Amino acid sequence: MLLIRSVQTVAQRHLQTVVQRHLQTVAQRRLQKRSLALSSALILSLGVLGHLGLTLLSVVPTQAYTANDQQQSEARRLLLLGVQQFEQGQLSQALQSWEMALGHYQSLGDRTGELSTLVNLGSLYRTLGQDGPAQQRLMTALDLAQAQGDRSVEAQVLSQLGTVYNQLGQHQQAIAALQAAVVLDVAQGKPWIAAATLGQLGQAHQSGGNYPQALVAFQQAQQSAVLEQNPLAETSAWLNIGNVAEILGQYGEAAAAYKSALEQAQTLNHQQLEGAALGSLGNIHLLLGQPEQALTAYEQALALHQTVGDRAGILTSSINLGRVYQELSDPDRSLNWLQDALQLAAELGDSVSEAHTLNLLGQHYLAQEHYETAMIVFQQAQTLYHNDGDRRGEASALAHLGQTAQQMGDVSEAIGRFQQALPLVQAINDQATTGKILSALGQLEQQRGQLDTAILHYQEAVTLREAMGQGLTDLSPEQRVAFFDTIAADYQALAALLVERDRPDEAAAILERLDQGF
């Protein structure tokens, strides 16, 4: 098993290197020659907030017709009519046209027409959120493309299959399909790898908890979007880069990416994306200990989402406002926003947002010393996170269960919960949450008199904080100071323990490192 994982890691690194070299070569060519033309038998459309590249095949090579001329002509008419209906938003009519065209092509034994229609049907079913039928159509199309040796269409189908697998939560299958699509595109010498494909690859890695790989894929998607001259895709890529960098504790890089997304969204006058970027910048302010600035950003984001009627964006903003009012010690406003968010999450069927909201509601009850209620709510959040495969969220719920147990005086239970949470965040390289859990374990071990164990936990936490601090060079001095203020307690606790264990020189060195900003 270890050998297999090592081989997979080497293969992933090789693929990343190949893609990066390919993008660099194309960028150089573009400087020399301003226009690069893609073969355009395809129609590409990018979804607003994700990389949902939609490819329709509408050109069927002319064939020598015999007695079946009339049926062949009708099949082609229906195929092209479906494309027109799709472009006009008449999705049910397009579905009917293409299903009828498919029947004609299969009756005629016309594999080329059948392939075109199957790809279109897979795209349309995916657009309609019917992932099962989409997968079925695309798998059949993949078999036909491979049988015909049509590598270009094979790559397109693999990319769409990757998107479907992502929607189905089958992230390893998505990664395999999308990487195969990338390899085929590179082998064909295409001018660049589609930003949509690379973006979906990043989503698959992120959903699977492999954030470093996700970050690389999103960065490559951003470069491809520039080459495609697709500012919408570029904005989406910047948001994804910022999100992953934020999870990895790289707050400087995250803030820079979100600012790039904000500028691009404002240039496009795209209020939905502008709201998303502002909300994300608010997250950075909150993580850096600047709740007032976070509140301003969240309120601006909410106003934009309300203007365009973006209910998902309104939900996210409501959750963020509930969280920031907790930081501002305004429990009543926090509770109002979280109750609104919980209702909206239920209406939208958004279990992820429901889990986030429950996690914050648990914190509300914990702060109000309603410990039994907090326990119940955190357990509900943990269950939802676990069912969604969200290890980061599950770790957060477990850590809050540990915090609640600590407040109830059950130190052993609290340590057990934090120890359950720790490997979950370590596995996904979530440095910020790992540091908080290690700090909590240090406090608990100190509480039960295990001072040497407590020192080890605090030392690990401090080491992680310093690694995070190295990535803050892009932030303002005010933001760096605010970040240091949020972690000063760990240094002070560690120094006090070292003094208690008669290690004053080490304690002085720890405090000096904090004073010097690492």
The confidence band for 45, taking pLDDT boundaries of 50, 70 and 90, is very low
Taking residues 260-282, what's their average pLDDT?
97
Write out the two tokens for 419.
């120890």
Q: Is 57 helix (H, G, I), strand (E, B) or coil?
A: strand
Asked whether residue 53 carries a pLDDT value surpassing 70, the answer given is: no
Taking residues 298-307, what's their average pLDDT?
98
Q: What integer pLDDT is reported at residue 501 of this predicted model?
A: 92
Q: Exposure string (b/e) for 428-438, b if CB count within 10 Å is 16 or more? A: bebbbbbbbbb
Q: What integer pLDDT is reported at residue 480 of this predicted model?
A: 73
* Arithmetic mean of pLDDT over the chain: 86
Express each pLDDT in 14-40 by its tens digit.
455 545 555 555 444 443 333 222 222
Please give the model's pTM, rounded to 2 decimal places.
Answer: 0.76
Asked whether residue 232 carries a pLDDT value surpassing 70, the answer given is: yes
Q: What integer pLDDT is reported at residue 459 of this predicted model?
A: 93
d(CA 174, CA 164): 8
Which range among 57-66, 195-204, 272-281 shows the weakest confidence by mean pLDDT?
Answer: 57-66
Asked if 216 and 239 count as a contact pair (C-beta separation under 8 A), the reply is no
Taking residues 230-245, what's their average pLDDT?
96
The residue with tokens 């303002």 is: 476
d(CA 260, CA 279): 14
Q: Could you tell me what percent of the chain has a pLDDT over 70?
A: 86
The confidence band for 51, taking pLDDT boundaries of 50, 70 and 90, is very low
Asked whether residue 442 carries a pLDDT value surpassing 70, the answer given is: yes
Taking residues 344-366, what's their average pLDDT?
96
Q: Which of 232, 152, 166 is nearest to 195 (CA)?
A: 232
Q: What integer pLDDT is reported at residue 190 of this predicted model?
A: 78
List of domains in the chain:
246-340 (1.25.40.10), 350-428 (1.25.40.10), 431-518 (1.25.40.10)
Q: Which of 393, 334, 339 is nearest to 368 (CA)?
A: 334
d(CA 169, CA 150): 28
Q: How far is CA 73 from CA 68, 105, 108, 449, in A?
A: 9, 10, 11, 84
Express each pLDDT in 451-478 by its tens digit.
999 999 999 998 888 887 776 666 777 7
